[in-house]
Amino acid sequence: MSKVQDCLKIEIFANTSYRKCECCGRPKDIYFRFNVKDADTASMLVGSFELCKDCGQQIGAILGIEASIEHVVKEFTFG
Ligand SMILES: [Zn+2]
């Protein structure tokens, strides 16, 4: 079993919010929370990063973990 997939998880927010992405440093819609769990047991949360769509998808692609926003995008119609 891969330690990467056990210890690094990308969660998708039900509602995006506009604030500073902790990866690229730009104010953007935040789609993802990237959780880091302890390497020994993968059961305790060490910390997390809040990521914009681009950064979340890049990190997900690099690490080979899921970061899909398909079901988020469909649900929002403003105005
Ligand atoms: Zn970003």
Q: Summarize pLDDT for 17-45 with one digit per residue, the tens.
A: 999 999 999 999 999 999 999 999 999 99
Cα 7 to ligand 1 centroid, rounded to whole Å: 21
Cα 63 to ligand 1 centroid, rounded to whole Å: 16
With respect to residue 22, please indicate whether it lies within any of the assigned structural domains: yes
pLDDT of residue 13: 94
Whole-number mean pLDDT of the chain? 87
With respect to residue 65, please indicate whether it lies within any of the assigned structural domains: yes
Strand arrangement, sheet containing 27-37? 8-20, 27-37, 45-52
Cα 69 to ligand 1 centroid, rounded to whole Å: 15
CA distance 30 to 52: 4
Domain count along the chain: 1
With respect to residue 78, please indicate whether it lies within any of the assigned structural domains: no
CA distance 29 to 18: 4
With respect to residue 47, please indicate whether it lies within any of the assigned structural domains: yes
With respect to residue 79, please indicate whether it lies within any of the assigned structural domains: no
Residue 71's pLDDT band (cuts 50, 70, 90): low
Question: Which two structure tokens, joined as six digits, stand for 12?
Answer: 């998708």
Cα 51 to ligand 1 centroid, rounded to whole Å: 5
With respect to residue 64, please indicate whether it lies within any of the assigned structural domains: yes
